[in-house]
Amino acid sequence: MGKNNTKTALVTGAASGLGFELALLLAKDIYNLILIDIDSEKLDLAKTTILKTYPTTITLMVKDLSVVNIAQEIYDETSNTEIDVVVNNAGFGLFGTFYDTDWERESEMLHLHVLTTTHLIKLVLPDMVERGSGKILNLSSLAAFQPGPLMALYYASKAYILSFSQAIANELKGTGVSVTVLCPGPTKTSFQDVVSEGCNKNKIGFNMACPEKVAAYGYKAMQKGRVVAIPGLFNKFLSILPRMLTRNRTTKIVRQIQDKNRDS
C-alpha cells in the first residue's frame, strides 16, 4: 500500500454507520485508511464517498470478522504498513431468549466481539509500544454496564470489551499508546435493523443519537487519550444506574423494556 500521508488507520465495520463516520473523520485528519467490512458493495461506496471530499489513500479488505483467526490474516496482509490507529467497530446484536436463539449466529457474534477484537489488538500492540505511539478505539455500548435479558450475549460481550479496554489502557500508561472505549446508547445505524430481525419493533424511540455526533464524540475522546467515552448526559446517568439501584434491579428494568419492545 502506497503512503501519501504519514499516518495509517485501520477501521473494521467501515462500510456504514459509526465505522464509516469514524473513517470520514480519520480521512479529514489526513490518515491513510484500511477499511474492512463483509459487505463489498457498501465498502466500495464508502471509499467513493470519502474520496469525493478527502484525497487520501484507501485500501479495502472484504473480510468476515467472525471467522476464526481472521485477525492474523488481516495483520499478515498489512504487515508492510505501520498502523497508527485501530478502530474496532464491527459488531452486531441478537434478540431473543438464550435457550431459543441460534447458536451458530451467537458463536459468530462472540468470535467477532471478543476473539477477533482481542486478537487484532494483541497483534498490533507490540508494534505500537515499540514505536512509542498509537491509538486504539474499541466500540462497546451502554449495554456494557448491566446484564441484558433477551440480548444476554450481546450485553455480556460488550461488557467484556469495556473491561478489557480499561485494563489494557492502565497497562499502557507511559508507553505513548492509548486505548479508548466508546460506549454509546441507541444510535441510528444498521445495527438496529439487524437486531430487529428477532422481534417486531426492537427500536428504542427516545434517546436515539445520530451516528455523526456519536462518532465525533468518540473520535475526540480517542485523540485526547481518554479511556471511557459515554456520549450524552442521559447515557452517563444510565451507566451509573446499576451502582445506585443494584444490578439486580436494573436487570429487571432492562427486561421490562425489552419485553415492551418485543410485544409492540
Q: Please write the tens of the pLDDT for every residue from 27-72.
A: 999 999 999 999 999 999 999 999 999 999 999 999 999 999 999 9
Is the pLDDT higher at 240 or at 4?
A: 240
Residue 65 burial class via C-beta count within 10 angstroms: exposed 0-12, middle 13-18, buried 19 and up = buried
Q: Is 206 a residue whose pLDDT tops 70?
A: no
User: Are the C-beta atoms of 105 and 149 separated by less than 8 Å?
Assistant: no
Residue with cell 487519550: 225
- How many Å apart are CA 249 and CA 168, to the nearest integer? 30
Torsion of CA 244, 169, 215, 223, to 10 degrees: 130
- How many Å apart are CA 5 and CA 28, to the nearest integer? 12
Give the confidence band of 209 by pLDDT, cuts at 50, 70, 90.
Answer: confident
- How many Å apart are CA 155 and CA 142, to the nearest integer? 9
User: Are the C-beta atoms of 14 and 23 separated by less than 8 Å?
Assistant: yes
- How many Å apart are CA 70 and CA 237, to the nearest integer? 37
**146 grid coordinates:** 448491566
- How many Å apart are CA 128 and CA 15, to the nearest integer? 26
Average pLDDT of 101-126?
A: 98
User: Are the C-beta atoms of 210 and 187 separated by less than 8 Å?
Assistant: yes
Has 154 been annotated as catalytic? yes
Q: Which amino acid is at 233?
A: L
Pairing state of beta strands 85-88 and 228-229? Answer: unpaired
Catalytic option among 31, 154, 155, 219: 154
3-class DSSP state of 95 = coil
Tell me which fold the domain 7-263 belongs to: Rossmann fold (3.40.50)
Per the prediction, the chain carries an average pLDDT of 89
Q: What pLDDT digit, counting tens, does each position of 231-244 carry?
A: 988 888 887 877 78
Q: Output the CA–CA distances (angstroms, integers) from residue 30 to 16, 33, 57, 165, in the order listed.
A: 20, 9, 9, 26
Q: Is the pTM of this model over 0.85?
A: yes
